Structure 1
């Protein structure tokens, strides 16, 4: 009986390994896709950040002229190689959606108060570059250059009619989800297929109830998918909550997922779920922002990559793709040359 138990246990362990090992999975094909956080914007030191930190007051010395969440920054992000651009929205006093990061205006603009207490017209009069400084307030390199640059959601989608976006609802107000669903429901199905929404549990749930075919993500939807997957994913079974959604997987957590990376990505792809890897433990929008960061990705990774520096990462991945294509072409030509040589020698 003891020997039989050992054999059964060995068989189960062998099944788990064979069913989840990426070493035995089919070789990944295709390229990863890039998700540009807030388009192309100014970056800052994330050490010691809290939810109350004014990040505009601690940016690195500017390397480009773009401000996050603006149409020019999104255009620059797509040009640099972004497949998807993420941006933040807030419901305005007159029922529109302003594309802006902060809950309040005091950090980035010369305005004061809560963003949603202002109309879209009032927000457009503000200078969104007013508060940015890289030297502790000695100089303000973007002051006076951001007047009128805060766009509405409608303006962004009109400016990029064929591009994909991830819309971030910054509040946890279910009414915001209802209002967003009301607006998005006016768009044709093809346009909706290019959009995804994530954010607070309550607004995302309210939106998903009204637009069940729209790709969404929240902490609640992540838990509904990943907790059952951690329990039963070793079997290859995909929980229904993992179907047609979006998952942002911190790189420190990813290795604990059954089948990571290749089997996991294949399973989620079969479930029509988009997987994006984010940096570190996922705190404060940590991304893959340098060549060194990219080296931490699994070999042949084909999922999404979250980046705050699309201007750096886009060209690097494009170079890698060109290099891989050249290697594949060289391999093909070498194979053809050998075939011709063998064929000639047999004549």
Structure 2
């Protein structure tokens, strides 16, 4: 089949454009990022129980101080390789508390007083904490309890809130690190368009992008190294999870899912079974 001169020129122009676009998004043109991924434990570790099903021990090998079974279960998660831990909060009797970290039919466990925000701060001194919270009244109590944000410890306390909580915190200024799941997913969605020309959307800058395993690949423009360089320049916190279901983050559950993530990735990975997935990544 012969092409006319005009057809040949058009074909060459299209080929040149495709080549230029591919080169523009080429991962290998960016340096490999430094650092390792950070694991976020979606929940506390399952505690040790006695023959009756009651929590038998608060010894976690992490802290050495006994703050009660809920904090011990969080300490055990930290000791399993978590760089950060999600702590779900709830308001009980008008006071902000830590939601129970495990289920138990044991009367003694059911009768225990909920852990306080102060218990978490005293018992978890090393990992970062993702505080999940709802409502302006609740987040006011949380902010009052947390230490003053410091540039010496960036990312130590990250708040995952609903609309009311995030709007209140943003009104306080940029000192508190906060995001909502919906906005973090919006950031990922908008990058699918703006990333075509290498731009990071405004919804992402100085914020959070939440990706699922299905999002990864060549349509995540510049993935991995070029993409990571763009996010670093825009100060975007990156989180990869297995999925987002009904507005809730679903962490990785299988060790082989790590294979879906590029080995140069150095952001957060949200995991469900930290006791299994934590040691597996750190080998």
Fold agreement, TM-score > 0.5 = yes
Partners of 2:117 and 2:145 within 8 A in 1: no
Q: Please list every run of at least 4 consecutive aligned residues from structure 1 whose deviation after the TM superposition is greater than 6 angstroms.
A: none
Query: Hey, what does 2:64 align to over in structure 1?
Result: none
State the alpha-carbon separation in 1 of the partners of residues 17 and 88 from structure 2.
Answer: 46
Instruction: Work out which of the residue numbers 259, 270, 273 in structure 2 matches 1:309.
Output: 273
Q: Which has a greater percent of strand? A: 2
Partners of 2:82 and 2:127 within 8 A in 1: no
SS at 1:38's partner residue?
coil
State the alpha-carbon separation in 2 of the partners of residues 216 and 92 from structure 1.
Answer: 23
Structure of higher RCO (CA pairs closer than 8 Å, 6+ residues apart):
2
State the alpha-carbon separation in 2 of the partners of residues 75 and 211 from structure 1.
Answer: 31
Map of 1:49-198 to 2, 5 A cutoff? 70-94=70-94, 96-100=95-99, 132=104, 140=105, 142-145=106-109, 147-148=111-112, 150-169=114-133, 171=134, 173-184=135-146, 187-189=148-150, 190=152, 193-198=155-160
State the alpha-carbon separation in 2 of the partners of residues 144 and 305 from structure 1.
Answer: 35
**Unpaired runs of 5+ in structure 2?**
1-5, 48-52, 59-68
**Unpaired runs of 5+ in structure 1?**
43-60, 102-127, 133-139, 320-347
Partners of 2:96 and 2:138 within 8 A in 1: no
Q: Deviations over 1:184-241 (max 9, x none)?
A: 4x52424564111113123212212214232222144225533432221122222233
Partners of 2:41 and 2:85 within 8 A in 1: yes
Partners of 1:192 and 1:214 within 8 A in 2: no
Tell me the number of residue pairs that the alignment of Structure 1 and Structure 2 aligns: 259
State the alpha-carbon separation in 1 of the partners of residues 128 and 45 from structure 2.
Answer: 15
Q: Deviations over 1:83-103 (max 9, x none)?
A: 011111123434x321116xx
Map of 1:242-321 to 2, 5 A cutoff? 242-255=204-217, 256-279=219-242, 281-283=243-245, 285-319=249-283
Q: Deviations over 1:249-278 (max 9, x none)?
A: 111123332222332222222222221211
Map of 1:8-87 to 2, 5 A cutoff? 8-41=13-46, 70-87=70-87
Shift of 1:8: 4.7
State the alpha-carbon separation in 2 of the partners of residues 79 and 290 from structure 1.
Answer: 19
Partners of 1:70 and 1:149 within 8 A in 2: no
CA RMSD, aligned part only?
A: 3.3
Shift of 1:73: 1.4
Alignment of 1:212 with 2:174, yes or no, is yes
State the alpha-carbon separation in 2 of the partners of residues 286 and 224 from structure 1.
Answer: 17
State the alpha-carbon separation in 2 of the partners of residues 220 and 206 from structure 1.
Answer: 16
Larger radius of gyration between Structure 1 and Structure 2:
1
Shift of 1:26: 2.8
Partners of 2:128 and 2:156 within 8 A in 1: yes
State the alpha-carbon separation in 2 of the partners of residues 28 and 271 from structure 1.
Answer: 15
